[in-house]
Amino acid sequence: MMDTHDFIARYAGIYEHSPWVAERVAPFASDVDNAGQLAALMADCVDNAAPEKQLELIQAHPDLAGTAQIAGELTADSTFEQESAGLDQCTPEEFERFQALNAAYRDKFSFPFVMAVRGSHRTEILDAFAARLENSYDLEFETALTEIHKIARLRLDAMGAE
């Protein structure tokens, strides 16, 4: 059983730049014994947060193959996730397409495109990017949160959350 301080220290990074999720879940998670239960508690916390807080969470995510990646400013988890999808190996044409899609997506939705990219290939990501640009704001907001929950679960699994 972990105390609240240790819990927050361990899980603060599960949701990108959003330690509030771990802070809110900590009092209820001291006896949680597996990644699935912890992921469900954390997802429930996010799903029940105010829409403004959810939007902040979405906006905390970096663009895919974006300026933060180039500048080396991604979190370690985001760096690994983007590299696992080959986003650090884009051709100049693919990189330009990512930049154009990032800009179009932000213009339309006012938040970054979020996708759990671990295990995907950059061509699949580009296809999903283009398809999701056709979505409504409400659908894309929900899709972004669903993808964020997938990212959180993958991160919990990767760290052997127990």
Three-state SS for 91-142 is: CHHHHHHHHHHHHHHHHHHCCCCCCCCCCCCHHHHHHHHHHHCCCCHHHHHH
pLDDT per residue as tens digits for the range 124-145: 999 999 999 999 999 999 999 9
Percent share of the chain, pLDDT over 70? 99
What per-residue confidence (pLDDT) applies to 162? Answer: 46
Name the pTM for this structure: 0.94
The single residue of 5, 17, 61, 149 carrying the catalytic annotation is 61
What per-residue confidence (pLDDT) applies to 1? Answer: 73
Which of 11-20, 39-48, 72-81, 90-99 is predicted with the least confidence, judged by mean pLDDT? 72-81
Q: Which domains does the chain have, with CATH numbers?
A: 4-55 (no CATH), 63-150 (1.10.3330.10)
Active site residue 61: yes
Which of 15-19, 72-76, 85-89, 106-110 is predicted with the least confidence, judged by mean pLDDT? 72-76
Helix 35-47, helix 137-158: angle, nearest 10: 150
What per-residue confidence (pLDDT) applies to 161? Answer: 52
pLDDT per residue as tens digits for the range 50-105: 999 999 999 999 999 887 787 778 899 999 999 999 999 999 999 999 999 999 99
